[in-house]
């Protein structure tokens, strides 16, 4: 190696020592890792926890990094997260991985939030692994359901009541109430995977996900969620981001990118057929031959969602 190259490597190593995150990340995050330094009894402590300091550094150095040193540091971090996630899936069958997509603004007091919690809880108990974008709203509901797997309905109702005092992530106590639920109802048996990003770092990551693959690069993160959920995707009411994910998923299924078409389940018939009639559009595109191989269901029924996903998992098992 040329002397100049050696000096460059030394400069990079010195730069890596100054960033607030681990450049060589070997494990997925846990809530304890991500919120290191946060005290649920002191809301102000969030500003100096690990997650907040990394987000501050991210913004100060540009959402698209201003310099090559920072860009390389983020790339190495995200590569480490990717490899750690590979190890996660060595322990979990991807055919049993279910993604739930939906709005980050969905309130904890909303009926759809509650429905997601109970669907996720039941699917987790049936052996599925729940995956989401790892943020608030519908994403949090996904991981709350997985966290409460194995517990009584009255325990879930109690957890929802505890959380209802801070309905959205913009409300004071949103994070602290989550930690208090986790303390009251510890989870040691079931796992779920949240895949958030610092690009949307103003939205706190849900601590209910037992494993957190937090990325700097949002494009990697979004593609990963849709790619690893072989068992199907449940779409709950959302806005632009959720609609984008619907069509991104539809492309994978149309081309049978992984050898089969996973279920696309639209939870909320009124929303998906009237308010945001994506379901009807996709049905029309299938009918006219523009899209093929789409396995779609629109329903309000928790039982229909669970039945469709179990049936597909059984079908996949029969193929292997």
For the chain, which residues make up each domain, given as ranges? 93-319
Task: Give CA angle at 125 (135, 131), nearest 5°.
Answer: 25
Give the phi and the psi of residue 13 in degrees, each rounded to 5: -60, -40
Q: How far apart are CA 316 and CA 260, in angstroms?
A: 9
User: CA torsion sign, 199 to 207 to 137 to 238?
Assistant: positive
DSSP H helix total and E strand total for the chain: 13, 7
Q: Output the pLDDT for position 273.
A: 97
Provide the pLDDT for residue 2: 44
Q: How many CA atoms lie within 13 A of 215 on its CB side?
A: 22
- If you search the block for the tokens 């590979």, which residue do you land on? 86
Cα-based distances in Å from 10 to 14, 15, 70, 233? 6, 9, 14, 45
Over residues 70-87, the pLDDT tens digits come to 999 999 999 999 999 999
Q: DSSP character for 236?
A: -
Q: What is the largest CA-CA distance in the chain?
A: 67
* Segment holding 50, helix H or strand E: helix 50-60
CA neighbours closer than 13 Å in the CB half-sphere of residue 256: 4
Alpha-carbon separation of residue 27 from 117, 193, 281 (angstroms) = 27, 13, 41
Tokens of 175: 């994070």
pTM: 0.95
Please state, for a pLDDT cut of 70, what percent of the chain lies above it. 96
Closest among 273, 315, 274 to 298, alpha carbons compared:
273
pLDDT in tens, 1-57: 444 465 666 778 899 999 999 999 999 999 999 999 999 999 999 999 999 999 999
What dotted CATH number matches 93-319?
3.40.50.450
| 172: its two tokens | 């004071």
Rounded Cα gap, residues 133 and 104, in angstroms:
9
How would you write the pLDDT of the chain (320 residues) with one tens digit per residue?
444 465 666 778 899 999 999 999 999 999 999 999 999 999 999 999 999 999 999 999 999 999 999 999 999 999 999 999 999 999 998 899 999 999 999 999 999 999 999 999 999 999 999 999 999 999 999 999 999 999 999 999 999 999 999 999 999 999 999 999 999 999 999 999 999 999 999 999 999 999 999 999 988 888 888 889 999 999 999 999 899 999 999 999 999 999 999 999 999 999 999 999 999 999 999 999 999 999 999 999 999 999 999 999 998 876 65
């Amino acid at each position: 190696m040329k002397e100049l190259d050696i000096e460059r490597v030394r400069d990079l190593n010195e730069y890596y020592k100054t960033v607030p995150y681990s450049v060589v990340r070997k494990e997925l995050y846990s809530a304890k890792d991500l919120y290191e330094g946060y005290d649920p009894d002191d809301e102000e402590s969030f500003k100096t926890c690990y997650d907040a300091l990394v987000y501050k550094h991210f913004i100060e150095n540009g959402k698209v990094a201003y310099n090559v040193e920072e860009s390389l540091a983020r790339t190495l971090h995200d590569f480490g997260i990717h490899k750690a996630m590979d190890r996660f899936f060595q322990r979990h069958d991807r055919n049993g991985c279910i993604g739930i997509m939906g709005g980050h603004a969905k309130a904890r007091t909303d009926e759809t939030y509650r429905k997601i919690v109970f669907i996720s809880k039941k699917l987790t108990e049936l052996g599925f692994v729940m995956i989401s974008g790892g943020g608030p709203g519908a994403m949090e509901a996904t991981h709350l359901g997985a966290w409460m797997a194995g517990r009584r309905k009255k325990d879930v109702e109690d957890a929802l009541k505890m959380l209802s005092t801070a309905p959205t992530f913009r409300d004071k106590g949103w994070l602290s109430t989550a930690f208090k639920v986790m303390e009251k109802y510890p989870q040691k048996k079931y796992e779920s995977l949240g895949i958030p990003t610092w690009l949307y770092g103003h939205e706190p990551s849900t601590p209910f996900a037992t494993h957190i693959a937090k990325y700097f690069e949002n494009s990697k993160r979004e593609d990963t969620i849709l790619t690893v959920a072989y068992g199907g995707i449940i779409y709950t009411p959302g806005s632009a981001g959720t609609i984008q994910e619907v069509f991104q998923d539809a492309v994978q299924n149309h081309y049978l990118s992984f050898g089969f078409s996973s279920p696309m389940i639209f939870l909320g018939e009124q929303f998906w057929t009237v308010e945001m009639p994506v379901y009807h559009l996709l049905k029309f595109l299938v009918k006219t031959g523009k899209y093929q191989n789409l396995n779609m269901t629109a329903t309000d029924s928790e039982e229909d969602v669970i039945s469709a996903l179990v049936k597909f998992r059984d079908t996949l098992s029969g193929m292997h």
